[in-house]
Structure 1
Amino acid sequence: MGLYQRGTVWWVDLTTPNGERIRRSTGIEDRALAQEYHDRLKVGFWEEQRLGVRPQRSWQDAAVRWVKETRDKRTHGKDIAKLRWLDRYLGHLQLSQVTRDVIDQIAERKTRESSPSNANRYLALIRAILRRARDEWGWLESIPKVRLYREPKGRIRFLTPDEARRLLHELPAHLRDMAQFALATGLRQRNVSFLRWEQVDMARRVAWIHPDEAKAGRAIGVPLNASALEVLARRQGQDAEHVFTYEGMPVARCSTKAWKKALERAGIERTFRWHDLRHTWASWHVQSGTPLQELMELGSWASYEMVLRYAHLAADHLRGAACRIDGTLASQP
């Protein structure tokens, strides 16, 4: 058939010298350019199968293989969404055509559309795929350098106890219980949302997160304080399987209109995120004297550096050192 159109985009339909039928989108709306793509593709298969020339691999080939090989990745669904967005810019290119200029243009477009930090997530995915194509698949001899935007380190936003009480008061019951549990345990939103009763032992005052459910990939033991146990007592009998549900289903998404309206009524800026509840929990711990090493274990952070962001909230242990120079500028008799 050669070329055919679906909507405004041209597709190729050809048979290789080995008899394999190839059908794929060119990603191109101009017929002449699509014909050029078709011809290059056909010549490439002929050179590969008849002359033994190293085959040209497309971005689409790399994207499909990446999706297959990373299906166990926790952010697999997010990768697929990013690849769908990238397809409009890379879907018609060979890997060798994914140059620094092409990548920079994508970065500029994504930055205008959202933000530099969000653009970095797409650039990092492009870089990861290109590196695997070079280092593991042997599809490329060299790859362009992918430059990420510098991301400023923002301030940690955490609630005061009074703000937290106001927010809990304004939230609907199911979100209130989840938020209180998050503030009591420091668990990430997904671990709260899909917590099962089989993962809770109220008699021993402990819960646990399985390795495949944890961000760091290792099991988490969660000690339950009085506030967490209070929430669990309220939730008992509401669902046989999951601790937190709404209309019989786990609450997969918490940053809803109800969350934002509750923030507004509580007098808290709407930019406060659900994940900031974890920052709040960590900040309260540090301010209450919990050592950073213990906080690292409680929060299941992968490295000590990740808890150092809270160190400035615990300056009490340095007060003695600060006082050593108290008399340095004292008046001499």
Structure 2
Amino acid sequence: MSEYETRLRHQLMFGPASVVAQGIIADAFESYLTKATLPCAADILRIGKLNAQIGHLSLREPKQAWEKFRLANLPDHAPAGQDRYRAVFQAAINVHHELHDLPPFKIKAIPFDNERVRFLTKGDRDRLISAYAPHVRPIITMLAFHGPRIQTALQMPWGVKGVDMQQEVIRLNHTKNAMTQSVPMHPRVKEVLSPIWEEQGNPLKGYVFLNRFGQPYQDTRLARIPGGNPLKSQHKTACKRAEIDDFTIHDWRHHWASHCVMAGIDLITIMHMGGWKSLRMVQRYASVGVDHMLTAINKID
């Protein structure tokens, strides 16, 4: 009764802040996981790891809790990987704060180089696509002409929730940012997908892309340690055959966005089609358009 009386007194004196101050970080994770829109599977795994290590700590000092977790668990992680943990931790605290009418909480982002822009000429693009194994070429064609993340492409289904051959539309499920975007199918993509669709009997469900054993690709986002690329070895071999250097499989996404800019597509449209959450993420491609125009203007005698 004495403890309960003290808790009531704090609530009367300090309002919602007292409720949060008396809670633990696990309460914030619970709030985050019960909101209307669930985070992606990889972030759910990150929350599980965070909760196991610091869920018992008080919500009074979330920054200290974060530092304790980071120093104990993330010293070998790349800065980008560390920042993903930071972002999901901050999001969980803020959902809990919002439920109790408290101001937003912020942890300084971990800096990392995310400004890489690498693209191929159209000739190099086609030469590299041709260098892949036959069962991989349709996947790479989709990466080159629609720019999804690799796992977004590999887990794509037939039908209205993915590749709709009847309407010639692709519904891209950008799981990382909880966004879904329908885009018209590029003719080159339709050209490589039509034979696959017909061979499978014009299906309206099931996976579009299968590995060389005829099985769906593993969704590495659901793995115990998120990440990994099932096409890594095929990509390395194809680059060697095509004599293309310094081009990762994720660079197909940069290639697509860069060629969109060079084709005159505005950044807002690129942001929506590519599933980026903010315009800031695509502004790095703006300079590509300037360089392209400079090359074009220098051709004038």
What TM-score results when the alignment is normalised by the length of structure 2?
0.69
Query: How far off its partner does 1:178 sit?
Result: 0.9
**Retained in 2: the 8 A contact 1:220–1:300?**
no
Q: 1:195 to 1:124 in 2, by over 3 A?
A: same
Number of residue pairs matched by the alignment: 270
**Retained in 1: the 8 A contact 2:31–2:96?**
no
**Retained in 2: the 8 A contact 1:197–1:243?**
no
Q: Give the aligned partner of residue 224 of structure 2.
A: none
Query: How far off its partner does 1:90 sit?
Result: 0.8
Query: How far off its partner does 1:278 sit?
Result: 1.9
Q: 1:110 to 1:222 in 2, by over 3 A?
A: farther
Q: Give the aligned partner of residue 60 of structure 1.
A: 26
Q: Give the aligned partner of residue 196 of structure 1.
A: 158
Q: 1:191 to 1:207 in 2, by over 3 A?
A: farther
Alignment partner of 1:221: what SS?
strand
Query: Structure 1 stretch 213-222 or stretch 190-199: which is displaced more?
Result: 213-222
Alignment partner of 2:65: what SS?
helix
Alignment partner of 1:132: what SS?
helix
For the pair 1:263 / 2:236, whether they are aligned, the reply is yes
CA distance in structure 1 between the partners assigned to 2:33 and 2:209 by the alignment: 31
CA distance in structure 2 between the partners assigned to 1:299 and 1:210 by the alignment: 8
Q: 1:178 to 1:253 in 2, by over 3 A?
A: farther
**Retained in 2: the 8 A contact 1:196–1:243?**
yes
Query: How far off its partner does 1:114 sit?
Result: 0.4
Q: Give the aligned partner of residue 272 of structure 1.
A: 248
CA distance in structure 1 between the partners assigned to 2:260 and 2:97 by the alignment: 45
**Retained in 1: the 8 A contact 2:25–2:62?**
no
Q: Give the aligned partner of residue 35 of structure 1.
A: none
**Retained in 2: the 8 A contact 1:59–1:94?**
yes
Query: How far off its partner does 1:277 sit?
Result: 1.4
For the pair 1:290 / 2:252, whether they are aligned, the reply is no
Q: Give the aligned partner of residue 183 of structure 2.
A: 221
**Retained in 2: the 8 A contact 1:59–1:93?**
yes
Query: How far off its partner does 1:261 sit?
Result: 4.4
For the pair 1:48 / 2:48, whether they are aligned, the reply is no
For structure 2, the 5+ residue unaligned runs are 12-18, 221-227
RMSD: 3.9
Alignment partner of 2:38: what SS?
coil
Alignment partner of 2:56: what SS?
coil
For structure 1, the 5+ residue unaligned runs are 1-16, 18-45, 323-333
**Retained in 2: the 8 A contact 1:167–1:263?**
no
Q: 1:171 to 1:49 in 2, by over 3 A?
A: farther
CA distance in structure 1 between the partners assigned to 2:32 and 2:271 by the alignment: 33
* Cα deviation code 1:66-110 (max 9, x no counterpart): 21225x3352x22221122223431332222x3433322333445
For the pair 1:186 / 2:147, whether they are aligned, the reply is yes
* Cα deviation code 1:173-227 (max 9, x no counterpart): 33221111221233443443313145556576x31317897957454222422x2
What is the correspondence of 1:41-120 to structure 2 with a 5 Å cutoff?
47-48=3-4, 52=8, 56-69=22-35, 72-75=37-40, 77-96=41-60, 98-120=61-83
Picking from 154, 157, 160, the partner of 2:118 is 157
Amino acid at match of 1:260: S
CA distance in structure 2 between the partners assigned to 1:92 and 1:248 by the alignment: 46
Alignment partner of 1:194: what SS?
coil
Q: 1:81 to 1:59 in 2, by over 3 A?
A: same
CA distance in structure 1 between the partners assigned to 2:32 and 2:275 by the alignment: 29
Structure with greater strand share of residues: 1
**Retained in 2: the 8 A contact 1:292–1:311?**
no
Amino acid at match of 2:235: A
For the pair 1:238 / 2:200, whether they are aligned, the reply is yes
Amino acid at match of 1:60: A
Q: Give the aligned partner of residue 14 of structure 1.
A: none
Q: 1:74 to 1:230 in 2, by over 3 A?
A: farther
Picking from 143, 148, 171, the partner of 1:209 is 171
Q: 1:191 to 1:110 in 2, by over 3 A?
A: same
Alignment partner of 1:69: what SS?
coil
CA distance in structure 2 between the partners assigned to 1:143 and 1:308 by the alignment: 26
Q: Give the aligned partner of residue 94 of structure 2.
A: 131
CA distance in structure 2 between the partners assigned to 1:144 and 1:203 by the alignment: 47
Q: Give the aligned partner of residue 329 of structure 1.
A: none
Q: 1:212 to 1:152 in 2, by over 3 A?
A: closer
